[in-house]
Every structure is written in structure tokens, then in C-alpha cells.
Structure 1
Amino acid sequence: MENSLIGANYDTVVVGAGNAALCSAIAARLQGVRVLVVERAPKEKRGGNSYFTDGAIRVAYEHFEHIRKVIPDIPDEEAEDIIMPEYGKDDFYADMMRVTEGRSDPKLAKQLVGKSLGTILWMKEQGVEFELNAANQSFINNGKREFWGGLPLKTKKKGIGLMEYLFKRLDDLGIEVVYGTRAVELVKEGNKITGLVVEQGKEQVQLSCSSVVLASGSFEANKEMRKKYIGDEWEAAIVRGTEYNTGDGLDMALSAGAQKYGEWSGCHSIGTDYNVPKFGDFNKPGDIFKKHSYPLSIMLNKDGKRFVDEGADFRNYTYAKYGKEILKQRDHVAYQLFDAETRPLLREEYNLEEATVVQADTLADLADRLDVNKDAFLATIEEYNEAVQDGEFNPSIKDGKHTEGIDLPKTNWAVKVEKGPFYAFPVTCGITFSFGGVHTDPEGRVLDDKDKPIDGLFAAGEMVGGIFYGNYPGGSGLMSGAVFGKLAGTAAGTYVLKNTETTGA
């Protein structure tokens, strides 16, 4: 047991230790208040879901020169060979509203978009290092590196690096972190938060504090909550990240009077390697099991049928919802199919030793090696190949190269699967985080059922409901965590200082 917590008194306690939580802790500390970070996981498993990401982070950068401010060491000669389409606030906001079908809370979406570049530059000031997301978001075209999809930026060393940089900043600022400590209850007097109850082993400690920032993730690692809110089939979903995101923060907030908000029946999920670990593996982090080159594939289930338009859009705008479609298939499995022409174009994760792949020189042999209905499998591929229309294939744009005459079209990047060898990558569904959360205002203040702030209570990261519905633009989760983490921490620190002035403490 951490004896230092007995009788401890802090200004702000941050619950969680991922990207959003640490941004909150740093922002609060920069206001001059005393901050404690409470983390349920042991130290060796710290970092929340953020530790497992590939570090891609979406930002409204307007033009390439803003990116060069974030990455100042890009040589001029390299910059001259980069084509990076402008991606401004209007573009980011339009993508948010398009993929959520207009359901994203406009106030929260505008805050996310409007604060994105400033937050990235603030993160850089805190020691976070960034690099171009070249391997996964660009192609070489006529000797130029051409970026696509509005996601050219990532943190160095992926999520591992992000968390290393943020934890180092915590150390520099003297912010205390306690591990193996589970927050279980908010202490409330009237409408004001005055403390937090935590568990260490079998003992409970009540901390006195003036404000609490809840940034402990959603409920994706809680099998019963997944079944209750998202559906029975979600019991079978693989958890891509930390095993500790079981909805503790949500339970505490709702018990304290917070308003439930957002799409509790929805989540971010992806197609991931069929043999992925059941939870995020701290020995193999970095999002290495994902399989995101499916727009160049056709994807078939065990019945030998296609079930999504693989080329409906860039993978940035479809991958977070296609995991759900894979989960619906028999035995929760599908096969991404490529031939010798498309295989060299696949993302880096397909080349790792962890990638599960079945290879054969003919489609008939491939079908024999898969657990599929062979006749239907071969018939679907033949029907698809006959439907592919002429046109120029270009994976750096939505090229319009499509199919005609089949019930389920492929809208872009439709190329025939006909040149051996052939490759099938089996995938299943991995859940990243649930979309339901609590209602906050744009500054991160948690609201009650009358849309009034609960004094001293703030939330950030996955706990903020109302931003994502059904889908999300790739990289916006990390950006949301950082934006609302910084905002919530700043608001918590400001609240403490104002409260201190008012009481004369």
C-alpha cells in the first residue's frame, strides 16, 4: 500500500494514465496546482490504449508549412519532393460530419477541429516528437511522395514513443503517479466534488481534492458491458488495447450525477489478424496486428461471399466500422484476398512475422487451404473479375475504378484478382473503444442531466461522449484525447485557482 496517499490532499487528481490523462495532468500542473495521477494498471502496463496505437494523429494543418513547424527537421530537398494536399479545419470538420452521418455534437466537433493544430504544437512544446506518416499514408507517384487521406502526421516510435515523451514530461514537472490504484468512487458534497476513493489491494483510501479529471477510457474491456450496450455478439470481440478499460470512470461519473451521452451502442472496431492476442500485448505493441490494406482487396467470408464495399472510401474513413461487419460473419472471420499485383502495395503490418497468411499458386488451391465454401468462393471471385471496369488504378486517390453488374459493387481500386501467387489474410474483429460516454461542455466540464456543470468534475479522452457515432476519421481518437485532455486539465487547474481565491485558502 502507498502510505503517501493516507491523508493526502491534492488540488487535482487525474484518473488514468493514457494520452488524454497525461495531457490533462500536464495542463493542470502548468496552471500551478498540485496534481496526482491515479492508474489502475501496474507500472509495467501503464499507458492505456494509447500505448498500443501506431501514433497516427489527425490535425487540421491547413498546408504543408504547418506540418514543417511540427517537424522542423524535414530537409528542403525532401520537402520539394512531397505532395501534401491542404487539409484545413473545414476539411476535418466535414470528414467528422460525413463519417458520423451528421450526428457528431457540433460544439465538440468544432472544438476538436479548431484546437487540433494548437494542441499538436503544445504537445511538441511538452517534448512529444512527431514524424511524417509516410509508410501508411503516401505512395510514390512520378518520383514524388504523394500523401492522401488527411493523416500525414504521427508520433515518433508510435504510441510507445508518445507515452514515453508524456511520462518524461510528468517527471520533469514533478507530477506524482501511483500505480495499481483503482478509482472507485467520487466524493461529492452538494454539487461539488471534494474527493476520490481509491482501492489499493483490499484497502480503500479517500483522497481530498478540489477537482477530478476522469480519463480512464471507455468500457471496451468489460465483456458484460459490451454485451449489455453494444450487443451479445460483442462478447466474441478481441480487445485491441489495455485490459483495464472496464468502464470504472463512467460508472463513477454516472453515480455522481453525470449525464450519459453519445452512442452507447456503438464502438470503434477494426479488422485485425485472426490470431491476435485476446488483449493488447505489451511485448508486441504498436498496433502491429491490424490489417488495413483491405481497400486493395476483396474480402470474403466463410460462405465465400463478399459483404462490404472494400473500396467505398479511403481506409481512414471505413476501417473503424468494418470491424463490426466482420464480427457479423460466421465464426467472426473473413479473408482479405490479394494477388501478385496488389501484394507489393500492402501496408507494413502485412510483412511482419506476426501476420497470418495463406498462400497458393492458384485460387483453387487457395480455397482448399481455407475454411470456406470452395464453389461459392471461386464463383464470387469470377463474378467480381468479370465486373471490373477499365480505368486507371491509383491508390493515392479515389480513382473511381469500379465494378458494374454485381449486387455489391466495389467503388474504387477495383482490380482483377487473377495473377498468382494469391494471398489470403484471415481477420477477425478487434474493439478499440466504445463511443458512449458522459456529456461535457467544450472545455471538458462534466454536465448533469440538466446540462449544468458538476463543480470540480472534468472528463477527457474516450469518456467524452457525443463525438463519434458509427465511425470516425482515422487518427481523430488520439487527437480528441489530446485536445480534450489539455482542455480538461486547464479547466480543472483554473477551477482550483478560482475556488482557492473565492475561499481565501
Structure 2
Amino acid sequence: MHSFDVIVLGGGNAGLCAALAARESGARVALLERAPEQLKGGNSAHTGGAFRVAYHGNDDLRVLMPDLLDSELENSDFGSYSQDDFFGELAAMSQYRADPEVLDTVVTQSLDTLRWMTTKGVRFMPIYGRQAFKVDGKYKFWGGLTVEVSGGGLGLVDALSRRAQQDGVELFYGVRAKRLNRCGDGRWQVLAANGEVFAAPAVIVATGGFHANLRWRAQYLGPGWDLAKVRGSRFNTGDGIQMALDIGAAAHGNWSGCHAVFYDLNAPAMGDIDLLNMQKNYFHLGVVVNAEGRRFVDEGEDFRNYTYSGMGEKVLRQPGGVAWQIFDQHSEQLLPDEYRVRQATRIQADSLEELAGKLEGINARALLQTLDQYNAAVRTDIPFNPAIRDGRCTEGLSLPKSNWANPLSKPPFVAYAVTCGITFTFGGLQVDSQAQVLDEQGEAIDGLYAAGELVGNLYYVKYAGGAGLTSGSVLGRLAGAGAAARSDEWQRA
């Protein structure tokens, strides 16, 4: 049996932050990761590395990004993102079901936690490529997101893993935890699928949700979800959730909800760390139609950061589970790199009639009618501005486009075939504001903590881009410190 002070299950952002915080407090830490080392990082490695953080202005951002040049500050409008804005947006998007104490902890500790991460080797930078448009000669950031990690999700995982090794965290790759037991001496035992046994006074569960569990998806998300492509890690099958439930933890949150996006039709069925950037999230700049040639979403309802996570569900409900995003030269040059990967299903034509004829499986006549009606409905008298909710809308359509409406009139025209790609599930475990796992009576389970996507307190119905990595870091750090303190108490007893 391997004995430690703290055991962390899961090697993504949340688990690594937990391990580093526990080690910082002097604990002997083991981190068990189900994946082999070459596929480490969980869902974190599959992200773009964006962090949603509350900040007052340039001074706060410069603490996180000391490499910012004076010229960058002069040519950029970073604005501010207050704690009230952060809290209010996530609370509203959850339809006020999110745990206010846990959400408040994430919001108020977001800046300090990211600052702490910089001391662990994480390098932050502005999201110029995906979250800023140049307006009147100045980059304008939008949608509450300004900060990402250098190197994206893989860069984040590499930086934290490297620091964990340097600090003496023992990393066990290819070890799948299967069961939790309470020992007679009060410690937890973690039983692995390979027969190894680990013991510690405190355990932190950070194994992600169940998006890669086909059976659970069909059971909890509903019919058809077993057909969705998996955007994230193939190893997130709900193991940590099941282990915690088996020893009395409370199931909590939106178990029938998930984060799922428009995903390239040509993407692999399972997330591939060597083939990222297959999502198609800038639909708000174009028009989206289904196989019947009809629009089925208000593409400009809000900034894509606040709507993109629900688009996977919407396309999954369409005939054949497929749709097309259509752009012309008003907006194609504004599309980020995810639209330029070699594997993208990109179709181009010099006229809408030619484009309709090239889209396999679509009702071309209905499509042309839809686009004619859309083009005629655009309020071209309202200025187009992609950096704000510009109010440039359609008028007279049963399904409006509320912002960023441009007529599709400037060739060449391009279309991207998309389907549903599931990123992570919302349901999981209930934790308190110190990341302690709660039982069905609402009491903390002694020595058991959780962080990351399996926390069921935060996301209901909708998800705001960048919130996941931030909440994982904040709660992971708290879990690590709490677990180390619990281990000290156990040893003194």
C-alpha cells in the first residue's frame, strides 16, 4: 500500500492546482491520472486555455501578464470586468440555480488564483486571436474574456505538470482509481484497477464529468446523446463521481445538462489531442441552417461566449444531427483559426445558388428561399460592430437575428458543415465554498474534496466561456490547502 498525506484523482487543471496547493502546504502528495502520460491533462488539454477573471483594469491585467508592452496597452481596450459582472452573468445563466456561496468564492478569488498560478510557471497573455476585434484602430475585447494561457490548454497542463514534478508531487500515470474505502484508522483508501492501493487522510476528486460515458449520456442527457461526438478527453467517464456517490456523497446539479458546441462534421468521434480546433464557435457572424434549409437559432442572440455551449444540443435535434454555418466576405475574414484547420469541411462558391448545390443533403430550394428572406430583412441602416452588441438585426422574420446581421451578398460564399460535439457534463457532486464534498444531509464528508467539471454547483442550462478553467483552479487550490490541513489534523490526533 502506498501511503501519502493527500491523494489527488485526476491530472487536469483542477487536479494539478490541487496537488500544487497541497504540496505548497508541506503535504506528501500523490496524483493518480487514468490516462497515459502522452495523453495527460484531461479536458484541460483540449481547451483553448481561456480564463474568465474579475479585474478592475490594466493594472490588474499587467500583474497577470507582465510581458504586456506599453504599445499593446495603448492599442487595446481591455475595459474591466467587475466581480459583480462576473457573478451576475454566471448566476443569470444558471437561472439562479448556481450555489451563491461557491460562485462567490470562484469570482472573488479568481484574480488572486490566477496570480498564484503565475508563480507556478503559467504564462498568461491577451486573447487577441479569438476575443478581440479591431475597431477604429484599437483592439476591443468582448464577452468578458481577455486572458488565455500561452500554448492553450496543452501549455497550461505542461506548465502545471512540470511544476508539480519539480515540487515533488508523485505523478502516477495510467492508474485508474475505481473505489474509495474508509480505513479503520480514519484514512481513505483508493483502490486502483491495476490492484494498487493508495491511502491518505484526505482525497481530492478531480476526474471530470461523464461526457465520454456513452451509456450515462443516453441515460441522463436523453435520447440521441449517445450519437454525439466527444470533443474532450476520452477518459472522463464519471469514475470519480461514481466513487463518491458510492460512499455517500450527494448527487447534485444539472444532470440532464451539458456543454456542447457546433463541431466540425469531419471531426473524429472521440477527442484527439493531436486534432484540436475542430469546434466552430463564430456562428454569430453568419447564418446557420439545417438540412431542410431553415434557420433554427438566433445566431446573434448574444456574444458567442454566452450561447455557444448550447448549440450542440440544438444541432443534435435537427434532421440528421447536421447543420451548415454560412458566411460571405463581410465576415469570413473575422473568423479565427478554428475555421482554417486543414480538416475543416469548408465549401466555397461564387454564388448562393452554386453554394446550395454543393451542400450535400440539404434542401437547396428551401435554403435559397431562407437566405433571400434573411438578406431582405437585414437592417443595413444600423452600423455593424462585432466588438459590441450592435443591434444590427433582422426585421420581420419569425426567427430574428438580434445582432451582427449582415446580408449574404459579398462573394465568395463559404459554408462549414457542423454537428454536435460534447465538451463536458454539468451534473456531479455538491461541494461547499471550501471544496469539501457534501453528503445527502448537506454535511461535509471528512477528508473528501472535489474540484473541476464534476462539481455540480455552478452550471445549469448555460455556460460562460472561460468559467470552467477558472472555477477548477480556484476550487482546486482551496481543495489542496484544505486537504493538507486535514492531513495535519489527522497526524496530530
Which TM-score bucket, shorter chain as reference? over 0.9
What secondary structure, in the 3-state scheme, does the structure 2 residue paired with 1:462 have? coil
| Superposition deviation, residue 43 in structure 1 | 1.1
Deviations 1:276-316 (A, max 9, x none): 1111212224xx11111100111000000001100000000
Structure 1 residue corresponding to 2:119, chosen from 125, 141, 150:
125
What secondary structure, in the 3-state scheme, does the structure 2 residue paired with 1:318 have? helix
Deviations 1:88-118 (A, max 9, x none): 1001011102222222111111111111001
Q: For 1:329 and 1:404, how far apart are their aligned partners in 2?
A: 25
Counting only pairs closer than 5 Å after superposition, residues 76-155 of structure 1 correspond to structure 2 as 76-155=70-149
Q: For 1:297 and 1:31, how far apart are their aligned partners in 2?
A: 50
| Superposition deviation, residue 191 in structure 1 | 11
- Matched to 1:397, the amino acid is I
2:236 aligns to what? 245
Counting only pairs closer than 5 Å after superposition, residues 379-418 of structure 1 correspond to structure 2 as 379-389=369-379, 390-418=381-409
- Matched to 1:75, the amino acid is L
What secondary structure, in the 3-state scheme, does the structure 1 residue paired with 2:109 have? helix
Change (3 A) 1:358 1:151: same
Are 1:258 and 2:249 counterparts? yes
Deviations 1:19-41 (A, max 9, x none): 00000101111111110011111
| Superposition deviation, residue 343 in structure 1 | 1.1
Structure 1 residue runs of 5 or longer lacking an equivalent are 1-6
* TM-score normalised according to structure 2 size: 0.98
Q: For 2:448 and 2:91, how far apart are their aligned partners in 1?
A: 28
- Matched to 1:382, the amino acid is D
Counting only pairs closer than 5 Å after superposition, residues 274-423 of structure 1 correspond to structure 2 as 274-285=265-276, 288-370=277-359, 371-389=361-379, 390-423=381-414
Deviations 1:197-232 (A, max 9, x none): 1122xxx12222111100011100000000000012
Cα pair 2:187 2:199 within 8 Å, conserved: no
2:161 aligns to what? 167
- Matched to 1:130, the amino acid is F
What secondary structure, in the 3-state scheme, does the structure 1 residue paired with 2:375 have? helix
1:194 aligns to what? 188
| Superposition deviation, residue 178 in structure 1 | 1.0
Cα pair 2:330 2:406 within 8 Å, conserved: no
1:217 aligns to what? 208
Counting only pairs closer than 5 Å after superposition, residues 9-88 of structure 1 correspond to structure 2 as 9-88=3-82
| Superposition deviation, residue 354 in structure 1 | 2.4
Deviations 1:349-384 (A, max 9, x none): 112222211111111111111121111101111111
- Matched to 1:483, the amino acid is V
What secondary structure, in the 3-state scheme, does the structure 2 residue paired with 1:154 have? strand
1:4 aligns to what? none
Structure 1 runs of 4+ off > 4 angstroms?
189-193
Q: For 1:439 and 1:174, how far apart are their aligned partners in 2?
A: 30
Q: For 1:75 and 1:276, how far apart are their aligned partners in 2?
A: 38
| Superposition deviation, residue 189 in structure 1 | 4.9
Cα pair 1:89 1:114 within 8 Å, conserved: yes
Q: CA RMSD in A?
A: 1.2
Q: For 1:25 and 1:156, how far apart are their aligned partners in 2?
A: 21
Cα pair 2:183 2:189 within 8 Å, conserved: no
Aligned residue pairs: how many? 491
Q: For 2:135 and 2:231, how far apart are their aligned partners in 1?
A: 34
What secondary structure, in the 3-state scheme, does the structure 2 residue paired with 1:232 have? coil
Change (3 A) 1:358 1:453: same
- Matched to 1:64, the amino acid is N
Deviations 1:402-459 (A, max 9, x none): 1111110000011101222111111111101100011110111000001111111111
1:272 aligns to what? 263
Structure 2 residue runs of 5 or longer lacking an equivalent are none
* TM-score normalised according to structure 1 size: 0.96
Cα pair 1:264 1:436 within 8 Å, conserved: yes
Are 1:438 and 2:429 counterparts? yes
- Matched to 1:19, the amino acid is N
- Matched to 1:379, the amino acid is Q
Change (3 A) 1:420 1:187: same
My pick for the range that moved more, 423-432 or 276-285, is 276-285
